[in-house]
Amino acid sequence: MEIGLILGLVAAGLLLVLGLYVVVTYNSLVKLRNRVDEAWSDITVQLKRRADLIPQLVETVKGYASHESGVFESVTRARAATINAQTPAEASQAEGQMQQALKSIFAVAEAYPQLQASQNFLELQSALVDTENKIQASRRFYNGGVRDYNTKIQLFPNNIFVRGMGFKERDFFEVEELAAISEPPRIDFGS
pLDDT > 80? residue 80: yes
pLDDT > 50? residue 129: yes
Three-class DSSP category at 35: helix
Neighbours of 182 (CB within 10 A): 9
CA 147, 150, 155, 157 torsion: positive or negative? positive
Domain boundaries, the chain: 28-182
The 10s digit of each residue's pLDDT in 132-155 is 899 999 999 999 999 999 999 999
The 10s digit of each residue's pLDDT in 19-56 is 999 999 999 999 999 999 999 999 999 999 999 988 88
pLDDT of residue 187: 43
The answer to whether the CB of 43 falls within 8 A of the CB of 174 is no
Query: With bands split at pLDDT 50, 70 and 90, how would you rate the model's confidence at 163?
Result: confident
pLDDT > 60? residue 189: no
pTM over 0.85: no
Write down the architecture of domain 28-182 according to CATH: Up-down Bundle (1.20)
Q: Which residue has the higher pLDDT, 166 or 117?
A: 166
The amino acid at residue 66 is S
pLDDT of residue 19: 92
Query: With bands split at pLDDT 50, 70 and 90, how would you rate the model's confidence at 1?
Result: low
The predicted model gives 163-174 an average pLDDT of 90
Q: What is the helix (H) or strand (E) element at residue 25, kind and residue range?
A: helix 3-62
Query: With bands split at pLDDT 50, 70 and 90, how would you rate the model's confidence at 57?
Result: confident
